[in-house]
Amino acid sequence: MPLGATPRNRPLLPRPRPNLASDRHPRDAVPSESTETAVEAWLRSLHVLTDTAEAAREWRERRYRFARKLGDALVAETEDQAAIAGPVLYGVWLKWGLLYVGQTLEAERRLRDLAVGESHHLANTFPPEIWDRVVLVRWPELQGAAEASESLGARVVGLALEHRMQMAENPLANANRRTSTGGWRSVDRARSASIGARAAPEVEPLFRELKRLWDCAATDAIQAQEDHAFVRCVRPASSLVDPA
């Protein structure tokens, strides 16, 4: 069935939870005194860490060592898992909950870059040093993935799974987009006509299986699942220890 078709029996997808911070202009937000104090402390710390050429060089090298270690933890071979490559769905959490959901067909490249931030925007706003966990699911290994990929193609399946997860979880970093006037606008996925949105109904059984593993990884219950080999959950704090 063409992705542009709209069959009568197309299942209804849940609307994302409302984001009360949407459609705001920066001047509408009034920072609290505690926020201003924290920002001032953050800026002072950065100035201390970069106040000479040698300090700035050391800071750059320290951050890259961390990003490299985190990249290895995400995709390199481990004692009980092969190296991660190919299509994955991935998410980044802060301590309070899910921040970002993304997908890629090249996990071996994209996830190594995730913490570096050179071609991925997330680390520019939310430094990877403060991430609580990163979860990735190798969805081609799940039951029904081969059939879906044969029907739709791996690229479309990845986009559809990404859309469904963003619909289900409404992660903060995906929920709004910048505007040309310096504000933010909410993303209405329920009205989306993107490739992922149009294909989402076709991958619903696969998404349910993926979501089961995703939820286990988000609550540290993944090791109890027989198919946990298809999932990797990494705590970036474990890469913060700098032996250099």
Which residues lie closer than 8 Å to 52 by C-beta, 6 or more apart?
A: none
- Say if residue 197's pLDDT is above 60: yes
Q: What is the pLDDT of residues 215-235, one digit of tens each?
A: 988 887 666 566 678 899 999
Half-sphere exposure of 22 (CA within 13 A, CB side): 17
Provide the token pair at 233. Answer: 């959950």
Selection from 162, 180, 178 nearest residue 170 by Cα = 162
In 3-state terms the chain splits into helix, strand, coil percentages (rounded to 5) of 50, 10, 35
* pTM of the complete model: 0.83
Across 79-88, 109-118, 218-227, 235-244, the highest mean pLDDT is recorded for: 79-88
Round the average pLDDT of the chain to a whole number and report it. Answer: 86
Burial of 48 (0-12, 13-18, 19+ CB in 10 A): exposed
Provide the token pair at 116. Answer: 């570096």
Domain boundaries, the chain: 30-239
